[in-house]
Amino acid sequence: MSYRKKIVWGIISSMVGFFASMVLAKPEIFGLCDMGDKKCIYFFIDYFDNVAQFIFAFSVSFFIIFTMLSFIDESVFNYWKKFAKIFLSIAIILIIITPTQHGGFVGIDKELSTWFLAIAFLIISLGIIIWKSVSLKKGN
């Protein structure tokens, strides 16, 4: 697959993830539950809230990153991809083992850890992309 196709698929996937997170977070708006059906709405909140937050936070991060990568050389993408594989693997494990409610080792819950890791992923990714693209321009 060409570099441009990878970027386009990344952008499309992040948009689909964003939409899926909205559907899971607000099932009554998208017709999965009636507006007054609290049992159905709370079912989605109880079972899909953490998943929706994870998908939302990381899909927004990926959208920003892939949009930025669309203007940059493929070698920067390959360098960033190595970081992303490692970071996302660790982030998923950390989010899974984090308690659902406040408490645990450092007093954070799944929601806080999801947001922290998504923001850290975005900031570190942007730093890597900027640093690598600047270093490549200096080398040329």
User: Six-digit token pair at 97?
Assistant: 């083992």
Lowest mean pLDDT among 7-16, 26-35, 52-61, 113-122: 26-35
Q: How far is CA 108 from CA 62, 80, 86, 115, 122, in A?
A: 24, 28, 22, 11, 20
Confidence of residue 140 (pLDDT cuts 50, 70, 90): low
Q: What is the model's pLDDT at position 36?
A: 82
What are the domain boundaries of the chain? 3-139
Split at pLDDT 50, 70, 90, the class of 127 is very high
In this predicted structure, the answer to whether residue 91 has a pLDDT above a threshold of 90 is yes
pLDDT in tens, 10-25: 999 999 999 999 998 8
List C-alpha distances in Å: 77 to 39, 52, 67, 126. 45, 27, 12, 11
Residue 99: pLDDT over 80: no
Residue range 62-75: mean pLDDT, rounded:
94
Asked if pLDDT for residue 102 goes beyond 80, the answer is no
User: Helical H runs in the chain?
Assistant: 3-25, 38-69, 74-97, 110-139
